[in-house]
Amino acid sequence: MFVGFDHLNQLANGKPQAEVFSPKKQAELARLNAALKRFAPDLILVEMDPKTQPRLDSLFRAYRAGSLKLNELEGGRNETYQVGFALGKLLDHARIFAVDSYDATSQSLLNKGENIDLFKQGLQKLQATARPLKKAVQADSLSLYEYVVAMNQPEMIQLTHRLFYNLPAVVIHGDFSESGTHSADLSKIDKAYIGAEYISLFYKRNLKIYANILNTQLQNRGRKLLVIMGQTHVGVLQDLVKDNPDYSIVSPLTYLVPKK
């Protein structure tokens, strides 16, 4: 099961309604975790680099023992802790597993080239769909539970997947923005296919995440995996898993029931 998030630590806007640690939002997260608990995963995988596994283990041990308060932890609003740790404790897991392969690539990196307007139109469509939802959560008019349900709808996953793994291919004969965030070596990119190069940055990272998921499962003999990721990862990871006959995908919407 893949559960996609708009990173919870990015909700803060200085207003109390947007505070993840508010009693209302904590209750909403408790509802989310109770629903996901019914899936009964035997492994919980999160968007942290495997190099941080020793620290993740230490933090989770402290959290299980009751000596770690998430509101005192840097980054404690993130879904790794709010959902991964909380759910792991509910299920009496001994560990939470780091499976990310971090490479920073910003949306603004691709901003020059033929047909760039088509990509920008796609980006604007995503923003027009997702931003009102985020603002509603920040204003407390949409619950975090309902937000996660919305972000994991097939059409929302398809929208983000197309924007980062399909649409950019139309952009050719361009360049990456000098101000765009990235951590990859861009010295050998083929600018004639700048959009395809952009896709490759995202795809390469997710192939490594996929490899980490497979190896974590094999090493720990898990049968039911819950993978907590940024929502833009879900589409490509699901595609990779669908092509692997040893695995099947369970939708989180099987367990997350929206209000009627």
Convert the pLDDT of each residue in 211-230 to its tens digit.
999 999 999 999 999 999 99
Assess whether pLDDT exceeds 80 at residue 163: yes
Q: Which residues of 26-37 are buried (b: 16+ CB within 10 A; e: fewer)?
A: bebbeebbebbe
Has residue 259 been placed in a domain?
Answer: no
Please give the Cα distance from 69 to 76 (Å, whole number).
8
Domain total of the chain: 2
Which of 204, 226, 242 corresponds to the end of one domain?
Answer: 204
Q: Specify whether 227 is located in the same domain as 200.
A: no
CA 31 to centroid of chain Cα atoms: 19
Q: Specify whether 200 is located in the same domain as 214.
A: no
**Residues facing 112 on adjacent strands:** 175
| β-bridge pairing 110-114 and 2-5 | unpaired
Q: Specify whether 98 is located in the same domain as 213.
A: yes
Distances (CA, A) of 102 to 32, 48, 52, 91, 182: 26, 8, 11, 28, 10
Q: What is the pLDDT of residues 44-78, one digit of tens each?
A: 999 999 999 999 999 999 999 999 999 999 999 99
Q: Specify whether 94 is located in the same domain as 122.
A: no
Q: Specify whether 180 is located in the same domain as 54.
A: no
Q: What is the domain extent for residue 28? A: 2-102+209-254
Q: Specify whether 14 is located in the same domain as 53.
A: yes
Confidence (pLDDT) at 159: 97
Has residue 260 been placed in a domain?
Answer: no
The residue with tokens 């190099």 is 51
Q: Specify whether 93 is located in the same domain as 220.
A: yes
Q: What is the pLDDT of residues 13-48, one digit of tens each?
A: 999 999 999 999 999 999 999 999 999 999 999 999
Q: How many CB atoms lie within 10 A of CB 244?
A: 10
